[in-house]
Amino acid sequence: MKMLRVVLLAATVLLTGCGYNTLQQQDEAVKSEWSEVLNQYQRRADLIPNLVATVKGFAAQEQKVLIDVTEARAKVGSIQVTPELVNDPEAFRKFQAAQGELTQALKSLFAVTENYPNLKSDANFRDLQSQIEGTENRIAVARKRYIDAVQRYNSTVRSFPTNLTAKMFGHSVKPNFGVENEAAIARPPTVDFGAAAPAPAPAPAPAPAR
């Protein structure tokens, strides 16, 4: 029994010194930040049906943008989000691409609503506008925290001698949001409808007859 305690104590010291505990702590931090990213994306998805219904009530003719938003939301919902997704680069890429498509579809929807003053003055629409704007901001913050957590974790996994421990216990680098399109996707869409749409530029005057 005494020998067993000595072995366990030695193993604990070795695991602590080789970064095992750090790997576990950082892995849990990544999971926590990822959960918050998903929470905010889900909140946005939950707001979209009411947004589409409200816009349709004032601008039913804008079928393309309404369909694009609905289809983009459906595509996001079709992706099975499991804890293992953060360890699967291909699944993570598909998730990121689907969320990016939904962001772009929402931007297009907000752009066309500029042409409908009655819609912009509707109380329900303005409430949805405020909620979505706030959610987009929270998505950007959650993504940034997740990115930072993954960077810390990946750095630990790659560093010696922790990389030996990581390999021994099956820890590998995790995929992250792409740097090349991070700014474009994370930027909240412009949803301030207080200002009137700009007037079209006047047509050029005809050239004088010769």
Within 13 Å, how many C-alpha atoms sit on residue 84's CB side? 3
CA dist 108 and 110 (Å) reads: 5
Question: Residue type for 158, please?
Answer: R
For residue 144 the two structure tokens come to 């940034």
pLDDT digits (tens, 9 = 90+) for 77-110: 999 888 889 999 999 999 999 999 999 999 999 9
Q: Residue 70: which domain range?
A: 17-186
209 is a domain residue: no
25 is a domain residue: yes
The reported pLDDT for the residue numbered 179 is 52
pLDDT digits (tens, 9 = 90+) for 139-187: 999 999 999 999 999 999 999 989 999 999 999 999 998 754 455 444 5
The reported pLDDT for the residue numbered 196 is 37
CA dist 135 and 210 (Å) reads: 61
Handedness of CA 11, 13, 19, 22 (dihedral sign): positive
Structural domain total, the chain:
1
174 is a domain residue: yes
CA dist 154 and 22 (Å) reads: 12
List alpha helices for 59-88, DSSP H. Answer: 63-78
Q: pTM higher than 0.95 for the full model?
A: no
179 is a domain residue: yes
| Residue listed under structure tokens 């079209």 | 200
161 is a domain residue: yes
CA dist 137 and 143 (Å) reads: 10
Within 13 Å, how many C-alpha atoms sit on residue 23's CB side? 25
| CATH classification of the domain holding 110 | 1.20.1440.20
